[in-house]
Copies of this chain bind each other. A is one copy, B any other.
Amino acid sequence: MTEAATARRSRITPEREAELYAAVLDLLREVGYDALTMDAVAARTRSSKATLYRQWGGKAQLVVKALRHTKPVQDFDEIDTGSLRGDFHALMERADDAEMEQNGALMRGLATAMHANPDLHSEFRSQIIEPEIADSRRLLQRAVDRGEVRADCPALEFVAHMMLGAFVTCAVLDDRPPTAAFLTSYIDAVVLPALGVPTE
């Protein structure tokens, strides 16, 4: 759904929606998922709880919508450079390091919460993981169609593990947040060779 359509459905302006999502993410960073309440969101954003529930259904949905709204790479679909390496690099050029760092911190906190809150996990899967995997499948399918990657290449089913894995392990292994430059090196050193794509 476009932002305009969301705003029409919800009768709140896109600016107000963005402001509300930013407040939810601030609260999430401050207190964590378990301690984040709809009361606190209502107070922080000067909304009524009834509006929040009517609009988003619940805490898990609101948090995942807020995360989705601020994901580092938007507009996946506009990327089509004619080569898989070009597409991956274009994606990384659109990634914002500061947003990736903030997202990484939020994801660490949410990984634990997701295991304790199945509703958060299923919302996160359907609203964030599945659409991202679908986006990435389209990009990979074009590479298969162009003959860059063999259709039966076993690495195809692990592209999300490779990319998300590099994103999350960088903090603990290298003691620094993931950056677009780090992920681009990883794509050239690991992802493309695993897919059998030459990196020259």
Contact = CB atoms under 8 A, between A and B. Distances in A.
Interface in A21-66: none
Contacts of A108: 111-112, 115
B194 A196 contact: no
A154 B111 contact: no
Q: How many copies does the complex hold?
A: 2
Contacts of A114: 172
Contact of A196 (B121, B161, B168, B193): B193
B173 A160 contact: yes
Contacts of A162: 162, 165, 190
Interface in A129-187: 129, 133, 154-155, 157-158, 160-162, 164-166, 168-173, 175, 185-186
A173 B166 contact: no
A105 B98 CA distance: 28
Interface string A53-92: 0000000000000000000000000000000000000000
List the 3 shortest-distance A-B pairs measured between CB atoms, nearest first: A165-B165, A154-B189, A194-B194
Interface of A: 105, 108-109, 111-112, 114-115, 121, 124-125, 129, 133, 154-155, 157-158, 160-162, 164-166, 168-173, 175, 185-186, 188-191, 193-194, 196
7 contacts: A108-B111, A109-B112, A112-B112, A115-B171, A161-B169, A164-B165, A168-B168
